[in-house]
Amino acid sequence: ERSPVQNAQADRLVRIQQTGQLSAITIELLKFRDLVEEKFELEFEAIRSMFKFSLKKCDQQVQDRLLYNHLIPVTIMAILANHLDFGWKYEALADFALENLIAQQQAIYNEDELTVWWRIIQYLVDRFDLRHGTDIQVEEKSSEKFYSLTTNSDSEVWTWEESKRLLYFRFTTAHQEYLERHQRTRGKRGLDLEAIKYYLQNSPAYLGRKKAKKFGPDKTYSCWVFDMDLLPLEIPLSLEVGREEVEEEEKAF
């Protein structure tokens, strides 16, 4: 989701477009088409080498597609910098492009690793290696209290217009099981617990933490809370699982 500032900037761009100013800018830029065609290849290669050097220096590897997407506008500005007043320096755009390139690549890596994490979690739940009432709890709520550092308690109240399915998640068993499964299926060690927590905390599905959450009838644990609608998981409500277990026990008698 976009931030309020980004939404305001997008609205401003739409208003500018409605005045016809963007078309006028495009027409003005077309005057430099021959110049760009003449200088683009050499300038692009020079800037690509500069970016590659900077990436190697900070030990970063990025996809070529991402790299080229960032190089093109930087190259265009490098060619036109002496012919147009952009309102900012070429160096500022190059620095921004490099920082954004690294950030986007890291976001893709994080997303890939989290996809693997949740895929393994689904597998562990399906095999009952992670259990409702002990490792996870899935409930439908229209409000919840989250941990607040200020009060050192679950005092921060969130409410939603419509009920959400919330996943209450404990790492105690899950992370070790994840590491073992990751090693077996992917041939390499998975992420350590702090790295996983960092990526999860910055994912869209993360809602917060609880200092004390009741798991099952008589157990209380600290846990993390996620929005199930934003997770690649299919896990039933814990109450439904509880009913299924009771029915199975009744059948046994």
pLDDT digits (tens, 9 = 90+) for 140-163: 999 999 999 999 999 999 999 999
- Selection from 136, 98, 109 nearest residue 198 by Cα: 109
pLDDT for the residue numbered 253 = 33
pLDDT for the residue numbered 1 = 52
Give the SS3 label for residue 59. Answer: coil
- pLDDT top residue among 238 and 204: 204
Q: Are 237 and 148 a contacting pair, CB within 8 Å?
A: no
Instruction: Compute the half-sphere exposure of residue 70: CA atoms within 13 Å on the CB side of its CA.
Output: 24
Residue 169 has pLDDT above 60, yes or no: yes
Instruction: Compute the half-sphere exposure of residue 242: CA atoms within 13 Å on the CB side of its CA.
Output: 13
- Selection from 82, 91, 68 nearest residue 35 by Cα: 82
pLDDT for the residue numbered 21 = 82
Q: Are 38 and 69 a contacting pair, CB within 8 Å?
A: no
- Within 10 angstroms of residue 124's Cβ, the number of other Cβ atoms is 20
- Per residue in 68-96, pLDDT (tens digit) is 999 999 999 999 998 988 888 889 999 99
